[in-house]
Amino acid sequence: MLLLPLFLLTFSSRPEPNGAAQILGLFQHPGKSHFDFFRPMFLALAERGHNISMYSYFPLERPVANYTDFVFQGMPLLTDIVDLKNFESEWKPLGLPFKVPTFFMLNDWGLRSCRVALNSPLIAHLLESPVRYDVIILEHFSNDCMAAVAHLLKAPVIALSSCAIMPWHYKRMGSPFINPIMPMNFLPYTDEMSLIDRLNNFFHFHTVNTLYNVITQPATDALISERFGPGLPPINEIVKNTSLMLINQYYALTGPRPYAPNVIELGGLQVGPLKPLPQHLLDLLDRSPNGIIYISWGSMVNTNTLPSAKRNELFQSISQLKEYNFLMRWKGEKSLDNEKPFNLYTFDWLPQRDLLCHTKVKAFITHGGLLGTTEAVHCGVPMLVTPFYGDQFLNSGAIKQRGFGEIVDFSNFDADHITRGLRVILDKKFADNVRRSTEAFRQRPTPHFEDPLTCHMDNILSFPN
């Protein structure tokens, strides 16, 4: 592990005359919500004159100067793909959450996207090209094969994480994992765990870490030597050279954690400046004297797979709360017009960040994904969370513990629980509580927060020669 000062030294001695850096982005994971967290950083860097070469699945919709997209092909994008029927029945040995299978899903995505990216013509061109980069920014998530490409290009590496750091990230960054106070990503725990919770946390952390070491890492090494021949160091040695890790966590949401100084929390970074809402939404908000409740389970969940019994329960709850209008992201194959209650309005897409910050929005029914969660905390909106997979459990635990919302498990997702949960979080006391936390969440070390560029990235890149 190189420490930050050493990294800064390496980086600041670059020979660029105008101080602009050549920045390479390597993002082989096809998850849209991950890239939604990363993109604002790169746009801000381009705006400041740095030259971004971005290898990912997510080209900019409108190209900007100083930012060139190279688009990977060969993996389906992870949008509208999650089938909610998978979460209908949850196996709870001894009544405890058991989330080890999540590892296998991550391992599978990781290896597949790794194979595609490593063998893509884009990476072949990149390695053949004489262009050299001042810094390489990549994602630490379910697989590290892009770190091997970075190793071959011989530039300092900054890692980004769109969620809390994974069990296998602690050691490489030199950060301690302190079991009793640090819940692992897949569990709904907080820094206040019972003895049983701590044991389960211990079991999950070490099981998943061991699986990563005995399954993912050797498989990644095999893919790398298949592509580049033998001779590269093992991938778990290469990743230890990561200079800095910027993560989508913030202590005002998930509590303070003892990271080494090379791991920096930037949670909520993607929350950009407020934009005006489209007129049809403003009209709808005007027609909602008591306010609206916004429902979204993120970009990955396929809303068509919500089992019809649960959908009817949701609709029943919505019709019980007549005084509110409900807005929902629902990308349906068939129209719901005949079934849905009169006060439910569905849209293919909604401008979530701007909607959540509108004063008419009284509550957010969410899956606890980090983008929506941080946007809701930024805007001060109480949440009713139904976590489905991955870090959504961890986020929901934090939301409940900090008084930002209530949890309704998918197994309890019925009109009774939804209506009761909503009545609780719609209480004024509750909104006041969240808004107090909003202030803490918005308080950042520099006034840059409304400008989406991270102060840390800025400091690194403007470090004097």
Ligand X SMILES: *[C@@H]1O[C@H](CO)[C@@H](O)[C@H](O)[C@H]1NC(C)=O
Residues 27-46 that bind ligand X (CB under 6 A): 46
Which of 326, 317, 268 minimizes the C-alpha distance to 292? 326
Q: Closest CB to ligand X among 111 and 238?
A: 238
Measured in whole angstroms, how far is the alpha carbon of residue 280 from the centre of its chain? 29
431 binds ligand X (CB under 6 A): no
State the minimum distance, in angstroms, from the CB of residue 235 to ligand X: 9
Does 151 participate in binding ligand X (rule CB under 6 A)? yes
Residues with Cβ within 8 Å of 400's Cβ and at least 6 positions away in sequence, in order, are 190, 385, 406, 407
CB of 18 to ligand X, least distance (A): 6
Who's near 295: CB < 8 A, 6+ residues apart?
Answer: 326, 327, 328, 329, 364, 365, 366
- For the residues of 4-68, what is the DSSP string, one character each? HHHHHHHHHT---TTS--EEEEE-----HHHHHHHHHHHHHHHHTT-EEEEEES---SS--TTEE
Shorter beta-carbon distance to ligand X: residue 157 or 165: 157
Cα atoms in the Cβ-side hemisphere of radius 13 Å centred on 242: 31
What H or E segment, with its residue span, contains residue 337?
none
Query: Which CB, 18 or 359, lies closer to ligand X?
Result: 18
**DSSP states along 209-274:** HHHIIIIIHHHHHHHHHHHH-TTSPPHHHHGGG--EEEES--HHHH------TTEEE-TTTT----
Cβ nearer to ligand X, comparing 144 with 265:
144
Among 16, 90, 108, 237, binds ligand X (CB under 6 A): 237
Residues in region 167-226 near ligand X by CB under 6 A: none
* Closest approach of ligand X to the CB of residue 16, in Å: 9
What's the min distance (Å) between Cβ of 70 and ligand X?
8
For the CB of residue 217, give the shortest distance to ligand X in the complex, in Å: 14
- Please give the distance of CA 47 from its chain centroid, rounded to a whole number: 24
Segment interacting with ligand X, rule: CB under 6 A, options 63-71, 79-87, 98-106, 196-204: 63-71
* Least distance CB 220 / ligand X (angstroms): 14
CA separation for the pair 123, 153 (Å, rounded)? 11
**Cβ neighbour number for residue 385 with a 10 Å cutoff:** 30
Given candidates 111, 238, 381, 426, which one binds ligand X under the rule CB under 6 A?
238
- Can you say how many angstroms the Cα of residue 351 is from the centroid of all Cα atoms in its chain? 17
Residue 31 and residue 29: Cα distance in Å, rounded?
6
Among 3, 9, 64, 100, binds ligand X (CB under 6 A): 64
Residues 43-62, one symbol each (x = binds ligand X by CB under 6 A, - = not), give ---xx-x-x-x---------
- 321: contact with ligand X by CB under 6 A: no
With binding defined as CB under 6 A, does residue 65 bind ligand X?
yes
Contacts by 446-451, CB closer than 8 A, 24 or more apart? 449/268, 450/273, 451/44, 451/273
Q: Among residues 179, 213, 225, 241, which is the contact residue for ligand X, using CB under 6 A?
A: 241
Shortest distance (Å) from residue 125 CB to ligand X: 10
Q: Does residue 233 belong to the site contacting ligand X (CB under 6 A)?
A: yes
Among 12, 60, 68, 437, binds ligand X (CB under 6 A): 68
Instruction: Give residues 78-107 in contact with ligand X (rule: CB under 6 A).
Output: none
How far apart are CB 133 and ligand X at their closest, in Å?
9
In the bound complex, what is the minimum distance in angstroms from residue 263's beta carbon to ligand X?
A: 18
Distances (CA, A) of 62 to 50, 58, 69, 292, 396: 18, 12, 11, 32, 34
Q: Which residues here bind ligand X, judged by CB under 6 A? A: 20, 46-47, 49, 51, 53, 64-66, 68, 151, 233, 237-238, 241
